[in-house]
Chains A and B, each alone.
Chain A
Amino acid sequence: MIGKLLGHCRIVAKIGEGGMGIVYRAQDEVLHRDVAVKVVNKDRHLDSSATQNLLYEARASSSLAHPNICTIHEVGETDGDLYIVMELVEGKSLRAMCADAGLPPESVLRYGIQIASALTRAHDRGIVHRDLKTANIVLSSDGLVKVLDFGLARHAGSGIFDGTTRSFATPQGVSSVSGTLPYMAPEILRGDAGDYRSDLWALGVVLYEAASGRMPFEGRTGFEISSAIMREIPNPLGPPVPPGLWAVIQRCLAKEPIQRYQRASEIQAALEAIQSGAIVSSNPATDQNAPRTTVLHSVRHAHVKKGDFLLLVGTTKGAFILRSNSQRRRWDIGGPYFHGDNVYAMAYDGRGGQHRIWASTQSYWGTLLRSSDDFGKSWTNPQQAPIRFPSDTGLSLKNIWQITPGRPEEPNVLYCGVEPAALFETRDAGETWSLVRGLFDHPHRPRWVPGNGGLALHTVVLDPANHQRIYVAISAGGVYRTNDGGATWTAQNRGIRAMFMPDKYPEFGQCVHKIALHPARPQRIFLQNHWGLYRSDNCGESWVDIANGVPSDFGFTVLMHPTNPNCVYIVPVESDVFRCACDGRLRVYRTRNAGASWEPLVRGLPQKRAYETVLRDAMTADSLDPVGIYFGTRSGQLFGSRDEGRTWQKLHEGLPAVVCVRSAVVEGASGGAVPSLPKAARPPSQKTSSSTKSTPRRSKR
């Protein structure tokens, strides 16, 4: 072969040999560069279709121009020899480098990011490696990682340098699998075809091996290795491997593909986050002596009694609690709580006889979920943020947009919708929170885009009849629904327009502003979109336009009447450019026939130069008779109606911009005392000069 011309490459020297063929160094006589030429063994007995497939995949792979992918220049056949001309990569294989004891974590991260980047490019082009392993990854002399043999494994095997690559038929004879056993994903061993997520499994094996020098799944025989891959959990990697890196590896090595990362780019992002975050103590110890509750002394509090009616008002500069009795005529106000912080979400939780107020706070110092069991006199102030993205996600919490208590039968369950768009749940009344992976891993997620307010999951709606069904709304992703308690989610946006997309009716990507459903008729949902007002009568399967006669179908809030499933309130704004009440007239619109027609409700509301905006969560109803409706505006006015919207009163003005309004009737409270707070923790009668003082946390609730 030496001296022979293959295409326009003259073979210079043999540089390697494996089960499939021989690799030569060659000189490209046209382009005058050194190249590697892989010649597939003649005795490989590839039939013509296998040959054609190999050629096809090699040609496809040749389109992968990426600094971390060994470039395929040319493929061809001559005199029956099948050959592949590729970039000559001179360096050391990752396998050789980590064979003894594993590499330092910094190196593993650096190489892992490059490998994930290479996989991202290939997968985006529809090319799966199928035989990723440390022997196929070379560190070039200039420090770059090069992944070899993309797309060559399926038909030809790729183990030129590594005799352990195997191609064989599955027991079912359905598909031919190939690869290297210790790197094979469980689904491959089961005989499934596998997909790009099998490469992500292999990347997990590569990272484990690079970090430790050991294989995650070992055995003396092929059977033992296969058995370990199918059933065993790898030995944990401790220091010096950072916990974040170990978390990434574990997620790559989830037995079920759906539980892994769904894209190589997510692994890249997670590794980059670990790399840039030199602060590795992601789980700091708890200081038992430190405060976890803040008691507010100099803040004015509302004195709350049993049977009182409350309005919880979240603003861009803190939270307020307005108190009245069931007459709802006279109000006193407590607050500001968390003065200066954004309070985008509040909720009242009266389940199980408690009277807990929840609030999310966002400031320079991060985003926290807090609660108060004494109507604002003291609030939890956790050392560690209770809602946090796991390290393998690479994401950081920006804001909590929605706090939704679970169904009455599940008093310890709550949900939070957050930015960046994700859903968290707790099953122990807020002691611990976890990311709902079923939604987070949805393949649409990487293609959701931020709305004007950020990429937020801002609405969580529970179906009261079907305990497995939850709806969420995402700006801009659209409406998603689960029918299995959060394990899997589907986009439910058929018929909802996306003005800002080339395809006006895409499967997802709509900028939905709010959704609401009535407990008595949970299959019906109302929706205020970024342009568009819709109703679905079939659990979100399809939507119809109901903007019949409203001055604008742009708006933010949509509020369900608590007892009448045909009655909905909205507050239209002029346009996405001028997000203020149409014509400077603050008008609430109501339908009592499920959207067939709408009527303006204006009595008591300013109708001249009132350029007001009512944001998506700034409107609420009460459960009294007659029903009360309340809303706050961006200019800090708070309005209420005790007759279902027929007439309005201004309850307060001069508040910061109102972003959230919630109502509650207090059952079982007495005198605003602090029943569960230890004596020592009660506020002293003398006010301190400081506005806050800390006390130990009350006992676990």
Chain B
Amino acid sequence: MPITFHIPGALREFTAGRSRVEIEHSPATLADALSALWTLYPGVRDRIATEQGQVRDHINIFIGNEDVRYTGGLASSVSPGSEISIVPAVSGG
């Protein structure tokens, strides 16, 4: 069962306009899932992660309804059928 990424509007330029991207194989962790995402759509990578491979400060990633900051970050486990949302944080002025 594939997992599904929900792509925010700002990044759809790099996913051929898709708002949902399905990863067919079953990644075990969020890091694996993200790697699969930017193998498909390389332009997404630098928008989500720094050059050192860390998720940017103001980008939140949810697996289901859980913010991965509280579930182990990139090591968070991903189960078949998971829905992963990439959401810019609410902050700033």
- Alpha-carbon gap, A391 to B53, bound state (A): 9
Residues of B within 8 A of A385 (CB): 46, 51
Looking at the complex, which one of A282, A286, A294 makes contact with B53 (CB distance below 8 Å)?
Answer: A282
- Whether B52 contacts A389 by the Cβ 8 Å rule is yes
- Whether B52 contacts A284 by the Cβ 8 Å rule is no
Residues of A within 8 A of B71 (CB): none
Asked if A366 is an interface residue, CB under 8 A from chain B, the answer is yes
* Smallest CB gap from B43: residue in A: A383
Asked if A213 is an interface residue, CB under 8 A from chain B, the answer is no
CB of B57 to closest CB in A, whole Å: 8
Residues of A within 8 A of B39 (CB): 281, 284-285
Residues of B within 8 A of A282 (CB): 51-53
- Alpha-carbon gap, A274 to B51, bound state (A): 10
Residues of A within 8 A of B74 (CB): 278-279
Binds B, one of A146-154, A214-222, A392-400, A619-627: A392-400
CB of B49 to closest CB in A, whole Å: 6
Given A365-B10, A383-B42, verify A391-B51 contact (CB < 8 Å): yes
B-facing residues in A660-701 (Cβ within 8 Å)? 692, 694
Asked if A647 is an interface residue, CB under 8 A from chain B, the answer is no
CB of A692 to closest CB in B, whole Å: 7
Binds A, one of B19-27, B30-38, B77-85: B30-38
Asked if A277 is an interface residue, CB under 8 A from chain B, the answer is yes
- Whether B56 contacts A284 by the Cβ 8 Å rule is no
- Residue with the highest number of chain A CB atoms closer than 10 Å, among B14, B51, B52, B53: B52
- Alpha-carbon gap, A460 to B14, bound state (A): 33
- Whether B13 contacts A692 by the Cβ 8 Å rule is yes
- Whether B53 contacts A381 by the Cβ 8 Å rule is no
Total count of chain A residues near the partner, CB < 8 A: 34
Looking at the complex, which one of B13, B51, B54 makes contact with A397 (CB distance below 8 Å)?
Answer: B51
Interface residues of B toward A: which range? 20 to 34
Asked if A500 is an interface residue, CB under 8 A from chain B, the answer is no
- Whether B88 contacts A364 by the Cβ 8 Å rule is yes
B-facing residues in A257-308 (Cβ within 8 Å)? 273-274, 276-282, 284-287, 289-291, 294
* Smallest CB gap from B46: residue in A: A385
Main secondary structure of the interface of B (DSSP, over half): helix
Given A279-B34, A364-B59, verify A273-B42 contact (CB < 8 Å): no
- Alpha-carbon gap, A291 to B59, bound state (A): 22
Asked if B45 is an interface residue, CB under 8 A from chain A, the answer is yes
CB of B79 to closest CB in A, whole Å: 18
Asked if A427 is an interface residue, CB under 8 A from chain B, the answer is no
Given A279-B74, A364-B58, A389-B51, verify A284-B13 contact (CB < 8 Å): no
- Alpha-carbon gap, A395 to B54, bound state (A): 11
CB of B87 to closest CB in A, whole Å: 10
CB of B27 to closest CB in A, whole Å: 12
- Alpha-carbon gap, A384 to B49, bound state (A): 11
Residues of A within 8 A of B43 (CB): 287, 290-291, 383-384
- Residue with the highest number of chain A CB atoms closer than 10 Å, among B29, B47, B74, B88: B47
CB of A626 to closest CB in B, whole Å: 39
Given A291-B13, A364-B59, verify A278-B42 contact (CB < 8 Å): no
- Whether B51 contacts A396 by the Cβ 8 Å rule is yes
- Alpha-carbon gap, A383 to B38, bound state (A): 11
- Whether A365 contacts B11 by the Cβ 8 Å rule is yes
Asked if B1 is an interface residue, CB under 8 A from chain A, the answer is no
- Residue with the highest number of chain B CB atoms closer than 10 Å, among A284, A286, A289: A284
Residues of B within 8 A of A274 (CB): 52-53
Asked if A356 is an interface residue, CB under 8 A from chain B, the answer is no
- Whether B53 contacts A365 by the Cβ 8 Å rule is no
- Whether A286 contacts B42 by the Cβ 8 Å rule is yes
B-facing residues in A220-277 (Cβ within 8 Å)? 244, 273-274, 276-277
Given A364-B59, A365-B11, A692-B13, verify A277-B42 contact (CB < 8 Å): no
- Whether B50 contacts A284 by the Cβ 8 Å rule is no
- Alpha-carbon gap, A129 to B89, bound state (A): 47
CB of A440 to closest CB in B, whole Å: 14
- Alpha-carbon gap, A490 to B51, bound state (A): 29
- Alpha-carbon gap, A385 to B52, bound state (A): 12
* Smallest CB gap from A273: residue in B: B52
CB of A496 to closest CB in B, whole Å: 33
CB of B18 to closest CB in A, whole Å: 12
Asked if A592 is an interface residue, CB under 8 A from chain B, the answer is no
CB of A399 to closest CB in B, whole Å: 13
Residues of A within 8 A of B14 (CB): 287, 290-291, 383
Asked if A388 is an interface residue, CB under 8 A from chain B, the answer is yes
CB of B81 to closest CB in A, whole Å: 22
- Alpha-carbon gap, A281 to B52, bound state (A): 10
Looking at the complex, which one of A276, A364, A388 makes contact with B51 (CB distance below 8 Å)?
Answer: A388
- Whether B42 contacts A284 by the Cβ 8 Å rule is yes
- Whether A694 contacts B13 by the Cβ 8 Å rule is yes
- Alpha-carbon gap, A384 to B48, bound state (A): 11
B-facing residues in A359-394 (Cβ within 8 Å)? 364-366, 381, 383-385, 388-389, 391, 394
Interface string of B61-87 (1 = CB under 8 A from A): 000000000000011000000000000
Residues of B within 8 A of A389 (CB): 51-52
B-facing residues in A62-86 (Cβ within 8 Å)? none
- Whether B52 contacts A395 by the Cβ 8 Å rule is yes
- Whether B42 contacts A280 by the Cβ 8 Å rule is no
CB of A209 to closest CB in B, whole Å: 25
- Alpha-carbon gap, A158 to B47, bound state (A): 50
- Alpha-carbon gap, A287 to B43, bound state (A): 8
A: residues with CB less than 8 A from B are: 244, 273-274, 276-282, 284-287, 289-291, 294, 364-366, 381, 383-385, 388-389, 391, 394-397, 692, 694
**6 closest A-B pairs (Cβ-Cβ)?**
A277-B53, A396-B50, A383-B43, A279-B53, A388-B51, A365-B47
Q: A273-B54, A274-B52, A277-B49 are in contact. List 14 more A-B contacts (CB 8 A).
A: A279-B49, A281-B39, A281-B53, A284-B45, A290-B14, A290-B16, A291-B43, A384-B46, A389-B51, A396-B51, A396-B52, A397-B51, A692-B13, A694-B13
